[in-house]
Amino acid sequence: MLITNTRATRETYPNDLRSIMSVAKAEQSRKWLSTWGGIYPGSTPLYALDGLATALGVGQILVKDESVRSELGSFKALGAPIALVRLILRLWPNDGLDPQALLSGAYKTKFSDFTVISATDGNHGKGLAAAAQSAGCRCVIVLHANVSAEREAAIAAYGANIVRIQGNYDESVEEAARLARENAWHVVSDTSYDGYEEIPRDVMQGYGTIAAEIVEGSARSKSPVTHVFLQGGVGGLAAGIVSYFWETYGTRRPTAIIVEPEQADCLFQSALSGVAAKATGSVDSVMAGLACGETSPLAWRFLVSSVDYFMTVKDEDAVQAMQVLAKGNESDLPIVSGESGAAGLAGLIQLMRDPKLARQAGLDHSSTVLLISTEGATAPAVYEQLVGESGLGVLARQKEFLDRRASHYA
């Protein structure tokens, strides 16, 4: 399903939104993260998939590969650490703390009794646990019933205490808030709610690093980006990216299309009603990182005017997109993209299969499409089951492809 957002605008980036999230704050976050051992140095790759572009009928496809952002395997390594740093700076404003030294563990003894907590579908919790471990504070993560044992183990490996509930993601958010109140802990969540906006803002601001690297990388491509497909969830990633693009490009910003599971369609429903809304389905999805039932009201303040189209895809569409990226072809390298990471390509494939929908979204042979593969094989067993090959196997073929290309141009 695809709908046009009649509330989208192409005016310059509004000052009231710039006061919340800005390119300047995104660049500050990027600087703070640059020396953290939890992420790898340099930018993540921006790959051109010319063979896939030809097959689908668009001019160019660019894929930003966030699976290699850090050993965490996803873009969430950018949000939680920045939110944690900014929270500590607000709580200890007069202690002269160095943000970069904080993530390097310079103040570990100072924060040994400080506890942060969050609900998660996996990747955000892993990012927060890793950041807390680096800073020296305690971390509690609340997991709902559908988070796999594999993802739980990956979070626990960073020293987090795990709390399991029987409900869904939204109920895990409620439980995290309850535990925080009872124990005087601090919630570090990527979704906002009434009276809770500062930390989700900081999480979203951290994602600006991705947009900054894309702006730098696309400046070297043969044509400017015309369309960007963004994963849904609660809206945080999309808001962090589109706000940066909107401020940078103004009226020339790329057309933005949000993709989410049909059973976790909270942003789609928000676009229909014009206000932050809830999903209409069961929420459970193979796209675990997008299995969210309620839109972040703060994120919606950015999305309502900057996203041009909202669409939903089926779980099997995402699995097919994972397989397409993993396979590669003679001109395109194989890419490891997890269930949520491949959602953008799933959306593009569905639109290009229907000429009417493609025309509605303005997609044709002249379009340059940007996709963000937000995660790799963060649940390796699930990935292998869905793709039919392990993530390590795909990476081995990717290395062979890159080695052949390097020898060809040597």
Tens-digit pLDDT profile for residues 69-103: 998 888 988 999 999 999 999 999 999 999 999 99
What would the pLDDT profile of 32-73 be if each residue is shown by its tens digit? 998 898 899 899 999 999 999 999 999 999 999 999 999 888
131 and 98 in one domain? yes
pLDDT at residue 191 greater than cutoff 90: no
**Residue 279: pLDDT band with limits 50, 70, 90:** very high
For the beta sheet containing 60-65, the strands, ordered from the edge strand earlier in sequence to the opposite edge, are 2-4, 309-313, 255-261, 227-231, 368-373, 60-65, 46-48
pLDDT at residue 210 greater than cutoff 80: yes
Last residue of one domain, picked from the residues 197, 221, 244: 197
372 and 337 in one domain? yes
Residue 202 lies in a domain: no
Residue 143 lies in a domain: yes
- Among 25, 64, 65, 76, which one carries the catalytic annotation? 76
pLDDT score for 169: 80
Which domain covers residue 312, as residue numbers?
2-71+207-409
Mean pLDDT of the region 269-295: 92
pLDDT at residue 220 greater than cutoff 70: no
Asked if residue 1 lies in contact with residue 314, where contact means CB atoms within 8 angstroms, the answer is: no
pLDDT at residue 182 greater than cutoff 90: yes
270 and 366 in one domain? yes
pLDDT score for 168: 84
pLDDT score for 410: 60
267 and 157 in one domain? no
The H-assigned helical ranges of 262-373 are 266-273, 297-306, 315-327, 343-352, 355-360
Last residue of one domain, picked from the residues 134, 162, 197: 197
What would the pLDDT profile of 249-270 be if each residue is shown by its tens digit? 999 999 999 999 999 999 999 9
Is 31 noted as a catalytic residue in this protein? no
pLDDT at residue 221 greater than cutoff 70: no
Residue 85 lies in a domain: yes
368 and 291 in one domain? yes
pLDDT at residue 208 greater than cutoff 80: yes
Radius of gyration of the chain (CA): 20
Angle of CA points 343, 299, 217, to nearest 5°:
55
- The CATH number for 145's domain is 3.40.50.1100
Is 364 noted as a catalytic residue in this protein? no
DSSP assignment, residue 230?
Answer: E
pLDDT score for 163: 95
Q: For residue 141, give Cα distances in angstroms to 9, 126, 132, 204, 288.
A: 38, 9, 11, 19, 16
- Among 25, 64, 65, 121, which one carries the catalytic annotation? 121
Mean pLDDT of the region 289-293: 88
81 and 43 in one domain? no
CA distance linking residue 147 with residue 119, whole number of Å: 11
pLDDT at residue 124 greater than cutoff 90: no
Last residue of one domain, picked from the residues 197, 215, 249: 197
Residue 103 lies in a domain: yes
How far separated are the first and last CA of the chain, in Å rounded? 46
CA distance linking residue 404 with residue 330, whole number of Å: 11
CA distance linking residue 351 with residue 353, whole number of Å: 5
Q: How many domains does the chain have?
A: 2
pTM over the 0.85 mark: yes
165 and 226 in one domain? no
Q: Taking each helix axis from N to C terminus, what angle separates 198-206 and 236-249, rounded to the nearest 10 degrees? A: 60
What would the pLDDT profile of 352-387 be if each residue is shown by its tens digit? 999 999 999 999 999 999 999 999 998 899 999 999
The SS3 call for residue 28 is helix
pLDDT score for 194: 82
Residue 112 lies in a domain: yes
pLDDT score for 379: 87
pLDDT at residue 288 greater than cutoff 90: no
pLDDT score for 362: 98
pLDDT score for 406: 84
**Residue 151: pLDDT band with limits 50, 70, 90:** confident
